[in-house]
Amino acid sequence: MKEPLNFILMGRSGCGKGTQAKLLIKYLQDNNLGETLYVYTGDKLRAFAEKEKTLSARMAKSKMKAGDILPSFLAVWFWSGSLIEGVNENNNLIMDGSPRTLLEAMMVDDAMEFYSRSNVIPIFLDTSEEWSTQRLLDRGRDDDSLKSIKERLEFFEKDVIPVIGYYSGKSRHKLVKVNGEQGINETHREILEKVF
């Protein structure tokens, strides 16, 4: 069995990380490259907040309703739990939407080292703020108000851009930059060309 592939999909909200994750999973499956564990922190955070069973969940729901970004410790709790429960010796991994901060990026590197995974590919789906805003407004999700979109894009500039810089320089896992503003299939093709 080949060494598992580990993809970290990053980009502004609305850049198509989820869509590209699905296409990557299908590609890996169709080419007999193994099963894939898909870790999407955003869905887990939303589901947790909706339950409202604990103070943490109620606070998370309140912050999300206000358009605020949830703290890193919650994101790390969810994605690390997914790794602990789901990683095996052979499965590929796709992380969607994490790491969101420099601290999280270092923790992802720590996790990859723990699982002896050296084939780590951080992919940055590069889109402009204007393009991402329009995409988010077009999809019409409940938490996609103009205020929350603006805050998420500001968060990206302040917290995620340093992560992109980290994978461009200090991390041993080197960044793959892809034009996220082209069509879905063209973006997928560029990812495959740059990775394989």
pLDDT digits (tens, 9 = 90+) for 48-96: 988 888 999 999 999 888 777 888 899 999 999 999 999 999 999 999 9
CA dihedral 184, 153, 136, 177 (to 10 degrees): 0
Nearest to 110 by CA among 123, 126, 99, 124: 99
**Structure tokens of 88?**
């095996």
Question: What is the predicted pLDDT for the residue at 38?
Answer: 97
User: For 113-149, how does the pLDDT look when each residue is reduced to its tens digit (9 = 90+)?
Assistant: 999 999 999 999 999 999 999 999 888 777 778 888 8
Whether residue 100 has pLDDT greater than 60: yes
**Structure tokens of 43?**
């869905």
Helix (H, G, I), strand (E, B) or coil at 115: coil
d(CA 187, CA 88): 29
What is the CATH class of 6-40+72-195?
Answer: alpha beta
Question: What is the predicted pLDDT for the residue at 146?
Answer: 84
Cis peptide before 71 (omega within 30 of 0): no
**DSSP 8-state code for residue 23:** H
- pLDDT range class, residue 42, cuts 50, 70, 90: confident
Question: What is the predicted pLDDT for the residue at 1?
Answer: 54
d(CA 120, CA 95): 11
Which residue is associated with the tokens 């589901």? 47
Nearest to 2 by CA among 32, 24, 22: 32
Helix (H, G, I), strand (E, B) or coil at 93: strand
What is the sign of the dihedral through the CA atoms of 165, 167, 171 and 172?
negative
In the chain the beta strands, taken as DSSP E runs, fall at 6-11, 36-40, 92-96, 120-126, 176-179
Identify the bridge partners of residue 40 per DSSP, sorted by sequence position: 96
pTM of the entire predicted model: 0.91
Which amino acid does the sequence have at 59? M
Domain residue spans of the chain: 6-40+72-195
